[in-house]
Structure 1
Amino acid sequence: MDIKCIAGFASITKDPAASASLYQDALGLPLEAMDDYRFMDRFPGANHFGVWPLSMAAQSCFGQDEWPESVPEPTATIEFELADAAAVEAAVQELSANGQVFVHEARTEPWGQTVARFMSPEGVLIGLSYAPWLHE
């Protein structure tokens, strides 16, 4: 596996308005809005930062608005960018062979990102990602 960079980081919140207020109003980050999701791309030192509502994370991972009780609720997500979609698939196979259990294996999201996700021991939702726009 050859990780290229941190593809993105987002806090995961049950109160998007309060979290957006902290990052946007208190800290002055120029976040854009897409529904309840607040974000900025090309964040200095990272490629993306966002405030991701838990319901949207649940929808992305499980296809439902509620996070399942059987999986610890994440408080953050970090995505590690790989060279291409095939590298994401290979990383899933490599980690699975070593016993890693995935929340979901590699798939392409509606916005074009290929991503597989799993939970870290400390409850961070980890993504292995290929976002084509980061390679242009």
Structure 2
Amino acid sequence: MNRTFSGLGVLFVAGFGPITTDPARSRALYVETLGLPLKSHGENKDYLLTEDGALSGCRHFALWPLVQAAQSCFGLDEWPADLPTPQAWLEFDVENIAKATEALLARGCQLLVANRQEPWGQKVTRFLSPEGLLLAVTETPWLRDP
């Protein structure tokens, strides 16, 4: 079923997961204790993910190390001290990233990354929620229904 909701044109939850500060402890909990089918992603050995329906209910679940989130948002190895440190990330795939980004700006959101094309093919706009979640609107072609 492919439905869209009013507002920004959200299609589905593209991904979710905790942002980890101790990747080894997180791996122990999520992989060893809970038995989730997480695997390393390329050279990012601490970015553990599951896709392709391996974990029903979420198209992409991943443990995202804080250092990698900081690199993605700021090009730095540390999260800026003047911003809340996110505990989790949540991405919403949208119909049109440019329109969604414009709508977020019009509604006063402070964007960390605006409509950026990632090397892996995803387009992303990132910002922090009032709760301190690292949120994004995205266009993620490989997660969309054919």
TM-score (norm 2): 0.88
Deviation per CA, 1:1-38, whole angstroms, max 9, x where unpaired?
22111000021011011011111111010111121111
Which residue of structure 1 aligns with residue 3 of structure 2?
A: none
Q: Does 1:99 align with 2:111?
A: no
- Matched ranges for 1:1-136 at <5 A: 1-34=8-41, 35-41=45-51, 42=53, 43-83=55-95, 87-135=96-144, 136=146
Instruction: Give the Cα separation in 1 of the matches to 2:104 and 2:38.
Output: 34
Deviates more, 1:98-107 or 1:72-81: 98-107
Instruction: Give the Cα separation in 2 of the matches to 1:49 and 1:134.
Output: 12
Instruction: Give the Cα separation in 1 of the matches to 2:97 and 2:27.
Output: 30
Report sequence identity in percent.
Answer: 46
Q: Secondary structure at the match of 1:60?
A: helix
Q: Counterpart of 1:37 in structure 2: which amino acid?
A: Y
Query: Which stretches in structure 2 are left out of the alignment for 5+ residues?
Result: 1-7
Q: Counterpart of 2:75 in structure 1: which amino acid?
A: G
Q: Considering only aligned residues, what root-mean-square deviation do their CA atoms show, in Å?
A: 0.9
Question: After TM superposition, where is structure 1 displaced by more than 2 Å over at least 4 residues in a row?
Answer: none
Instruction: Give the Cα separation in 2 of the matches to 1:96 and 1:23.
Output: 35
State the shift of 1:47 in Å.
Answer: 0.3
Instruction: Give the Cα separation in 2 of the matches to 1:36 and 1:26.
Output: 17
Q: Counterpart of 1:3 in structure 2: which amino acid?
A: V
More helix by share: 1
State the shift of 1:131 in Å.
Answer: 0.6
State the shift of 1:76 in Å.
Answer: 0.1
Instruction: Give the Cα separation in 1 of the matches to 2:81 and 2:71.
Output: 14
TM-score (norm 1): 0.94
Instruction: Give the Cα separation in 1 of the matches to 2:47 and 2:110.
Output: 27
